[in-house]
Chains A and B, each alone.
Chain A
Amino acid sequence: MTQALPFVVSVSVQQADFDVGGEIAALSEGRRDVGAIASFVGLVRDLNDGSGVSAMTLEHYPGMTEKALEEIVEQARQRWSLQGVRVIHRFGRLEPADRIVFVGVASPHRGEAFAACEFIMDYLKTRAPFWKCEETPGGARWVDARESDDSAAARWQDRG
């Protein structure tokens, strides 16, 4: 066993699409101590709350967004033994099947990778300043926050 390699975190807020395979591969590039990589990819759905969605525009708060995401990753790092985290969140106009968000987590063990990946997504949903405006047959509408997102984030407060 070699000496511990540093924790690597990278957060991007961008308009451009991303390469899922490349991002996952990069999480263990150049190191032999990673045992597990868990990842999540969020996509634009063509149906939401019973209406067809032809496109959506994601607005965000430049400056705060990056800070909020970095803070969420830092909280995950303090809870679990992690080796690397990559978060990418897109903004601007996206269409169904387009990728919105990527979270990838590298850890020595799968349990921690799964948990941290889910934690980051749950916290991102309630704390990162993004807002979705959907284009539907009835016109443009802002997506309302879901209570289920709040409870998904809150459940982590009851766990060690």
Chain B
Amino acid sequence: MTVKVLYFASLREALGRPAEELALPAGVATVGGLRAHLAARGENWQALGEGRNVRAAVNQRMVGADATVASGDEVAFFPPVTGG
């Protein structure tokens, strides 16, 4: 039961890594739940905390906090996009 988690831009820098494999913790079934779980690591991880402007994608589609996360998924967290 693992997921691949990706981080981009300022979030990647704040967390000091572009990606990690993570065993999906028991009870975590949504993007919001995974985000709270990661934020609870403390210190820099508070960049993912409540109130921070963070967007998410599951399997390369932008989703909201209620989106489900399952084993094998690719989950990405990133700041609001600034292309164009």
Contacts and interface: CB of A to CB of B under 8 A. Distances in A.
Interface of A: 42, 58-61, 63-64, 67-68, 89, 100-101, 121, 124-133, 142-145, 149
Contacts of B9: 59, 131, 133, 142
13 contacts: A58-B83, A64-B60, A64-B76, A67-B60, A126-B80, A127-B81, A128-B83, A130-B81, A130-B83, A131-B79, A132-B82, A145-B53, A145-B79
A119 to B, nearest CB: 13
Contacts of B45: none
Nearest to B57: A64
Interface string B58-84: 001110000000000000101111111
A61 B8 contact: yes
Contacts of B8: 59, 61, 129, 131
B10 interface: yes
A12 to B, nearest CB: 14
A17 B76 CA distance: 28
Given A64-B60, A64-B76, A128 B81 contact: yes
A114 B3 CA distance: 42
Contacts of B62: 68, 127, 129
B63 to A, nearest CB: 12
A154 B84 CA distance: 17
B82 A61 contact: no
Interface in B18-32: none
Contact of B83 (A63, A67, A131): A131
Select the residue from B9, B57, B62, B79 with max chain A CB neighbours within 10 A: B9
